[in-house]
Amino acid sequence: MERELISKKDLLDSTGISYGQLYRWKRKQLIPEEWFIRKATFTGQETFFPKELILARIDKILDMKDDLSLDQVAGKLSPLMLDYELRKSDFAKRNIVSKEALQRFGAADADQTLYGFERMLYFYVADRLLQTGDMSLEEGERLLDTLREHFPRFDGKACDLLFIRRMGVSAFALVSVPAELHFESGVKLVARVPLAESIEQLKGKLI
């Protein structure tokens, strides 16, 4: 499914922020560079944004900027909350992932085990795919292995998770964005998950 975009004009009109604020927040890295998407229109080149992500981000910035400096806000909105940790027992109480997923994927962890943000993200992404019914628990284990092995290599850069299946055999991959993909006949794209959106959703549940 193609993500919904919002034009810069509509964004400024709907949020009430100014052009100057928007680009100041970009310079301060409160809004990621890759969210500024240049597209050709009948009037020329225009800038668009992923609608859900940018509106949620601006709400957070406006909510925090009166109490924190922009540098402090940028720290809280960094792509990965590198210093954020949560005990397994507390993570379970927050109901961020289903009890079944946590029991399966965190079975070997004691209640006092500290989960970093990346590990919570992996559980969150796997649980979302499980909830759709498109992925089995066994496939979820392989998904976690894929994320653990390859996601850190992107070093905070935007990437998408691809979940494909051909003749009943599934596979996972991570790709940089933007990327246009074409598969051979018989390959079904089960899901394409923008991990930047999953990161924002998870941060919204944790902050």
User: Is the model's pTM score more than 0.85?
Assistant: no
Residue 168 CB coordination number (10 Å): 5
Q: How many domains does the chain have?
A: 2
User: Which tokens in the block code for residue 56?
Assistant: 């949620």
Question: For 103-162, how does the pLDDT look when each residue is reduced to its tens digit (9 = 90+)?
Answer: 999 998 999 999 999 999 999 999 999 999 989 999 999 999 999 999 988 877 788 999
Whether residue 132 is found in the same domain as residue 185 = yes
Which residue, 69, 85, 82, is CA-closest to 30?
69
Quote the CA–CA distance of 3 and 50 in Å, as a whole number: 7
Whether residue 89 is found in the same domain as residue 70 = no
Quote the CA–CA distance of 203 and 76 in Å, as a whole number: 9
| Domain of 123, in residue numbers | 85-206
pLDDT grade, residue 1 (50/70/90)? very low
Whether residue 200 is found in the same domain as residue 130 = yes
Whether residue 127 is found in the same domain as residue 55 = no
Whether residue 116 is found in the same domain as residue 170 = yes
Residue where one domain finishes, among candidates 19, 53, 76: 76
Whether residue 69 is found in the same domain as residue 123 = no
Q: Is the peptide bond before 152 cis (omega within 30 degrees of 0)?
A: no
Question: For 83-117, how does the pLDDT look when each residue is reduced to its tens digit (9 = 90+)?
Answer: 688 899 999 999 899 999 999 999 989 999 999 99
Residue 11 CB coordination number (10 Å): 19
User: Which tokens in the block code for residue 6?
Assistant: 């919002």
